[in-house]
Structure 1
Amino acid sequence: MKIRLVNDGVFTPIESINDTLIAPANGFYWIDADVDDLIVLQPLFGLHDLAVEDCLSEEEQRPKLEIYESQYFLVINSIRFDDEEIFLRALNIFLGHHYLITVTRQKINELRSVKPILWEQEVNHADRFLYHLIDIVVDNYFTVGDRIEARIESLEEDILMHTKKSHLTEIIGLRSEILWLKKALGPQRELIATLNKKDLRLIDNELQKYFGDIHENAVKVYETFETYRDLMGNLREAYQSSVANRANEIMRVFTALTTIFMPLTFITGIYGMNFDYIPGMHESFGSIVLLVCMAVIGFGMFYFFRKKDWL
């Protein structure tokens, strides 16, 4: 657990958690904790049992805002895209009048990214810290969206150039992740809309207007992933079309080869009959003449098919 006094964007480490119980003369306290630290934090700050239970739960939490007497409890999902897999990590936030507590199970990059912004903007209030943190979380969805779009374009190019069976597995897997992510974005969009419109005494009225801008971005993210879902459907159709075209191409080659060998098979069939007299059978150069004729017929038909662009 890390405890900092944030005053005009400047971070000052605090040794004792008891020092955070009283509001500082200037600034606010940021307590960056993990789930194990809730044993200490709950009695000191009066954290609600239901909120603590949500933090301790290993199940995926729905983004939400819970309003309690002295604090707000928020759950928002941070996004990561590692090794072609999408991860959502719950960021639990307790917002009080003079403190902000972040509780996480894994490391969340946004908590590191927000520090330079706090210093640059000379942040002095917990609600403004909350605004910048949520803004970064939503912006990262655009970054992940760009990587997903690049992956879709790369996959489409691979399918058009050389279709593989593994492409279908990738399409199904990526489409499932996009649908799952889109499902999680709906509640998150609603959460940000609540921060923008609802009367919240711990968030400054002027600051609430800025949450409207974040809400617009959240809507854009939701619509973007809706588009990605449609693109994955088109990609699957392109795969199926490519497979069908490839099968048709193979069948066309086999058909042409079969057609070429039909007259050759006919000739060899005749000369395999047990007749006493077959033209050229007893001639010294009969076999050579026959092979030359078969070669001429075969190559002639091959040239004809190539000229017609059938092969």
Structure 2
Amino acid sequence: MKIRLVNNGVFTVLDDVRTALKPPAEGFYWIDADLEDLEVLQPLFGLHDLEVEDCLNDEEQRPKIEVHEGHYFIVVNSIRFDDEEIFLRSLNIFLSKGYIITVTKQKINELRSLKPLLLEERVSSPDRFLYYLTDLVVDNYFVVGDRIEDRIEKLEEDILMHTKKSHLTEIIGLRSEILWLKRVLGPQREVIGTLNKRDLKLIDPELQKYFRDIYENAVKVSETFDTYRDLMANLREAYQSSIAGRANEIMRVFTALTTIFMPLTFITGIYGMNFDYIPGLHTKGGSLILLTFMVVVGFGMFYIFRKKDWL
């Protein structure tokens, strides 16, 4: 657990968490905690049992905001895209007048990126801290969205150039991840909308106008992932069309080869009959003449098929 006094974006590290129980004369306290620290923080700051349970829950947390007397409990989901796999990480926030507590199970990149931004913007209030943190979380969805779009474009190019059975697995997996993200984006957008519209005493009314901008970005993110979902449907159709096209191409080749060998089979069938009198049967060099004729017929038909672009 790290306790910092933040004033005009400048951090002062503290050792005793009890110092944060009383609002400072200037600035606010930021307590960056792990799950194990909740055992100490809950009795000191009067955190609700259900809120602590939500933080400790191993299951995926639904974004939400709960308003209590003296503090708000907010859950938003940070997003990461590592090794072609998407991860969501819950960011639990306790917002009060003189402090803000962030509780995470894993390291959140937005918290590290936030520190220089606080100094640049000379942040001295927890609600502004919440604004910049939420803004970074939503902006990161755009970054991940761009990477997903690149992956879709690469997958589409691979399918058009050389279709493989593994492409279908990639399409299904990526589409499932996009639909999963869509389910998360809805509640998260509602949370940001609440910060924008609802009368919340712990958030400066002037600051709520800025939350509106974040809300609009959240809507854009949601619409972007709607587009990605449609693109995945188109990609699956392209895969199926490509597979069907390859099957048709193979059948066309087989049909052409079968057609080429049909007259050759006809000729060999005639000269394979058990009759004594067949034209050319006893002719000297008749077998050579017949083989030459068959080769000419075969190559002639092959040439005609290639000229008509049937092969």
| Fold shared by both chains (TM-score > 0.5) | yes
Give the Å deviation of 1:81: 0.9
- Which structure 2 residues correspond to residues 1-311 of structure 1 after superposition, within 5 A? 1-311=1-311
User: Aligned partners of 1:283 and 1:10: how far apart in 2?
Assistant: 108
| Post-superposition CA distance 1:114-169 (Å, at most 9, x none) | 11110100101111000000000000000000001111111111111111101111
Alignment identity in percent? 77
Give the Å deviation of 1:273: 1.1
User: Aligned partners of 1:89 and 1:219: how far apart in 2?
Assistant: 20
Q: Secondary structure at the match of 1:123?
A: coil
Give the Å deviation of 1:280: 2.5
Q: Which amino acid aligns with 1:227?
A: T
User: Aligned partners of 1:285 and 1:89: how far apart in 2?
Assistant: 84
Moved over 4 A (4+): none
User: Aligned partners of 2:109 and 2:219: how far apart in 1?
Assistant: 22
User: Aligned partners of 1:125 and 1:86: how far apart in 2?
Assistant: 33
| Post-superposition CA distance 1:28-76 (Å, at most 9, x none) | 1111111111000001111111111111111111111101111000000
User: Aligned partners of 2:116 and 2:201: how far apart in 1?
Assistant: 27
User: Aligned partners of 2:8 and 2:201: how far apart in 1?
Assistant: 22
| Post-superposition CA distance 1:216-275 (Å, at most 9, x none) | 000000000011111110111111111111100000000000000000001111111111
User: Aligned partners of 1:78 and 1:126: how far apart in 2?
Assistant: 19
Structure 1 unaligned blocks of 5 or more: none
User: Aligned partners of 1:270 and 1:113: how far apart in 2?
Assistant: 85
User: Aligned partners of 1:310 and 1:146: how far apart in 2?
Assistant: 42
User: Aligned partners of 2:200 and 2:285: how far apart in 1?
Assistant: 104
Q: Which amino acid aligns with 1:18?
A: R
Structure 2 unaligned blocks of 5 or more: none
User: Aligned partners of 1:35 and 1:81: how far apart in 2?
Assistant: 24
Give the Å deviation of 1:7: 1.1
User: Aligned partners of 1:292 and 1:235: how far apart in 2?
Assistant: 50
Moved more, 101-110 or 13-22: 13-22
Count of residue pairs the alignment pairs up:
311
User: Aligned partners of 2:295 and 2:7: how far apart in 1?
Assistant: 91
Q: Secondary structure at the match of 1:287?
A: helix
User: Aligned partners of 1:170 and 1:140: how far apart in 2?
Assistant: 23
Q: Secondary structure at the match of 2:87?
A: strand
| Post-superposition CA distance 1:74-129 (Å, at most 9, x none) | 00000111111111111000001111100010111000011111010010111100
For the aligned residue pairs, the C-alpha RMSD in angstroms reads: 0.8
User: Aligned partners of 2:37 and 2:247: how far apart in 1?
Assistant: 61
| Post-superposition CA distance 1:191-223 (Å, at most 9, x none) | 000000111111111011100000000000000
Q: Which amino acid aligns with 2:267?
A: I
User: Aligned partners of 1:181 and 1:86: how far apart in 2?
Assistant: 9
